[in-house]
Structure 1
Amino acid sequence: MITTVTTNVAIDKTYIVDNFSLNGVFRVKQVLAQAGGKGLNVARVIHNLGEEVIATGFIGGYTGSYIKEIMAREGMKEDFVVIEGESRICINILDPVGKTQTELLEPGPDVSQNDAQKLVDKVKELARSSKVVTISGSLTRGLAPGFYSLLIEVINQAGAMAILDTSGAAFIEGIKARPYMVKPNQQEAETLAGHPLKEVDDQKKFLMKLLESGVQVAVLSLGGDGALVATGNDFFKVIPPRVQAINTVGCGDAFVAGFAVGLARGEGVTGAARLATAAASASATRWQTGQCQVELVNKLLDEVRLLELHT
Structure 2
Amino acid sequence: MILTVTLNAAVARTMVVPSLNFGQRHRASESISRAGGKGMNIARSLRELGAPVLATGFAGGRSGDAIRDGLSEASIPFDLVEIASSSRTSTAIVDPTSGVQTEINEHGPLITQAEAREFTRRLEFLMEYASAVVFAGSLPEGIDEDFLAGLVHRSRERGIFTVVDSTPQVLKVALKARPSLVSPNQGEAESVAGFDFIEEDDFSRGTARLVELGAERACVTSPEGHSYLTTADGVISAQAPRVEARSTIGSGDAYLAGLLSGMLHRNLSAVDAVKLAAGCAAANAETLGAGSFEARHAEELAEEVQVEVHSGGKHRL
TM (norm. structure 1) is: 0.96
Q: Is the 8 A contact 2:277 2:302 kept in 1?
A: no
Who is 2:289 aligned against?
288
Q: Is the 8 A contact 1:132 1:263 kept in 2?
A: no
Which amino acid in structure 2 is aligned with residue 79 of structure 1?
D
Who is 1:178 aligned against?
178
Who is 1:124 aligned against?
124
Who is 2:22 aligned against?
22
Determine if the alignment matches structure 1 residue 218 to structure 2 residue 222: no
Which amino acid in structure 1 is aligned with residue 293 of structure 2?
C
Which amino acid in structure 2 is aligned with residue 74 of structure 1?
A
* Residues 55/222 of structure 1: CA separation in 2 closer, same or farther (3 Å cut): same
Who is 2:144 aligned against?
144
Secondary structure, counterpart of 1:79 in structure 2: strand
- Cα distance between partner residues in 2 of 1:48 and 1:58: 23
Cα displacement (A) at 1:310: 3.8
Q: Is the 8 A contact 1:211 1:231 kept in 2?
A: no
Give structure 1 stretches of 5+ with no counterpart.
none
Q: How many residues align?
A: 311
Deviation readout 1:63-92 (Å, 9 max, x if unpaired): 101111121122111001111010111110
Secondary structure, counterpart of 1:146 in structure 2: helix
* Residues 263/125 of structure 1: CA separation in 2 closer, same or farther (3 Å cut): farther
Q: Is the 8 A contact 1:123 1:154 kept in 2?
A: no
- Cα distance between partner residues in 2 of 1:54 and 1:93: 29
Cα displacement (A) at 1:293: 0.4
Who is 1:309 aligned against?
310
Who is 1:61 aligned against?
61
Who is 2:10 aligned against?
10
Who is 2:101 aligned against?
101
TM (norm. structure 2) is: 0.94
**RMSD value, Cα:** 1.4
Q: Is the 8 A contact 2:193 2:209 kept in 1?
A: no
Who is 2:315 aligned against?
none
- Cα distance between partner residues in 2 of 1:149 and 1:156: 10
- Cα distance between partner residues in 2 of 1:228 and 1:102: 26
Higher alpha-carbon deviation: 17-26 or 4-13:
17-26
* Residues 90/99 of structure 1: CA separation in 2 closer, same or farther (3 Å cut): same
- Cα distance between partner residues in 1 of 2:263 and 2:120: 23
Which amino acid in structure 2 is aligned with residue 127 of structure 1?
M
Which amino acid in structure 2 is aligned with residue 269 of structure 1?
A
| Fraction of identical pairs, as percent | 32
- 4+ aligned runs moved over 6 Å, structure 1: none
- Cα distance between partner residues in 1 of 2:260 and 2:230: 16
Which amino acid in structure 2 is aligned with residue 29 of structure 1?
S
Which amino acid in structure 1 is aligned with residue 260 of structure 2?
A
Deviation readout 1:8-57 (Å, 9 max, x if unpaired): 11111111111102111111222111111110000000001111110000
- Cα distance between partner residues in 2 of 1:186 and 1:70: 30
Who is 1:269 aligned against?
270
Cα displacement (A) at 1:113: 1.6
